Structure 1
């Protein structure tokens, strides 16, 4: 039986902070094509030790970026990304790649994701970069994002309906 491998939350967050206010020139910038937020988030979680997934049956069941012309919609579009990461792996399957699930607000950690949704579809993706506690109580989270770039911005100030995603790790062969 496959074992789940660890997601490197610290590396994902370090990358998020490094590139929050600019763009890594190794990747295309999709700011002019509907937004760069999910492309940026995919880069973050890739640096967090999540390998490319070339195994799925169709392009929406894979996740990779080799070039602007050789990438999946799941890498750079918010709703396909959500469907991929939450539907890709279930315990006991033979799938490969990221393993994530929907989460409650109070169970998020650094490296987990938040999406803004409208009519049930994701249109924006952010990464948790800090958990803010007031004593032992959760007070807020800080997030980084692209498509108007923000570094360590309070999640409580983000408008709109939110969806929370916990990254549990990944499966490898």
Structure 2
């Protein structure tokens, strides 16, 4: 039996028996608590590297899981990707560890400010469909026209907003506006906390209207996450759909995810102190 088959059998046993705590079993549990049923799980693995350490083989691989979720009268596919490191001995997996997904650290002294360009159009027509189509196309891939970051969530959301027609401004000042030119970019284009504050304060071009309830969001809108509740927002997602209860389902990068429930309660980064910001785009 090859290593790919061994990994597949390992995860099949984990899921079927709900053995031990892992992100697949946690996701099933989260849906069950929310009144939904995961009718099917399909996994695809890609081996990234193999090393040898004495009697052990060390396998780094990427696991993509697709969940078929039923809730009331709605059915949809939710997808998520994580990197794992497995240690094998004598053809058996003796240890498997998920590589922790990165969140953006706080950048000291980072200030994003508004430029006062009276000639810049204050209104733009936001094509939500185009933004969501882009989000679906690139949720588990990287557009070569943009730089790829280790913590890529905000870069991905910004690309989606740009695909929806959001106008850029502020170049070449990285602290100003929201922009990308192929070789350089504003902090607000790639840093989670900077985009959150830009959406709050922008009065021209790309701007967001903050609302109090996630259910007021539509596909193409943005959610910002401060997992620790310390005032530093370290993750962003884009809404791509809503479930039967009208709650947003989101796509994201870093831990590449598709149609994930917006609250992230089963994320390793989640804490009870989490603070969310909900932004309607283009209003």
More helix by share: 1
Q: CA deviation at 1:40?
A: 0.4
Residue 126 (structure 1) aligned with residue 237 (structure 2): yes
**Which residue is 1:155 aligned to?**
262
Q: 1:52 to 1:3 in 2, by over 3 A?
A: closer
* Rounded Cα–Cα distance in structure 1 between residues aligned with 2:282 and 2:185: 23
More divergent stretch after superposition (19-28 vs 160-169):
160-169
Larger radius of gyration: 2
> Counterparts in 2 of 1:14-93, with a 5 A limit?
14-31=133-150, 35-54=151-170, 58-67=173-182, 69-89=183-203
Q: CA deviation at 1:61?
A: 2.7
* Rounded Cα–Cα distance in structure 1 between residues aligned with 2:263 and 2:153: 18
Q: CA deviation at 1:141?
A: 1.8
* Rounded Cα–Cα distance in structure 2 between residues aligned with 1:141 and 1:102: 15
**Which residue is 1:100 aligned to?**
208
* Rounded Cα–Cα distance in structure 2 between residues aligned with 1:63 and 1:3: 14
* Rounded Cα–Cα distance in structure 1 between residues aligned with 2:250 and 2:152: 15
Q: CA deviation at 1:168?
A: 2.4
Larger RCO (CA within 8 A; separation ≥ 6):
1
Q: Deviation string for 1:63-91 (max 9, x for gaps)? A: 11112x421111100011111122011xx
**Which residue is 1:10 aligned to?**
129
Q: CA deviation at 1:16?
A: 0.3
User: Which sections of structure 2, spanning at least 5 residues, go unmatched?
Assistant: 1-117
Q: Deviation string for 1:37-61 (max 9, x for gaps)? A: 00000000000011111279x5323
**Which residue is 1:114 aligned to?**
223
Q: Among residues 162, 166, 173, which one is paired with 2:280 in the alignment?
A: 166
User: Which sections of structure 1, spanning at least 5 residues, go unmatched?
Assistant: 90-95
Matched length: 154
* Rounded Cα–Cα distance in structure 1 between residues aligned with 2:178 and 2:264: 30
TM-score normalized by the length of structure 1: 0.80
Q: CA deviation at 1:157?
A: 4.2
SS of structure 1 residue aligned to 2:147: coil
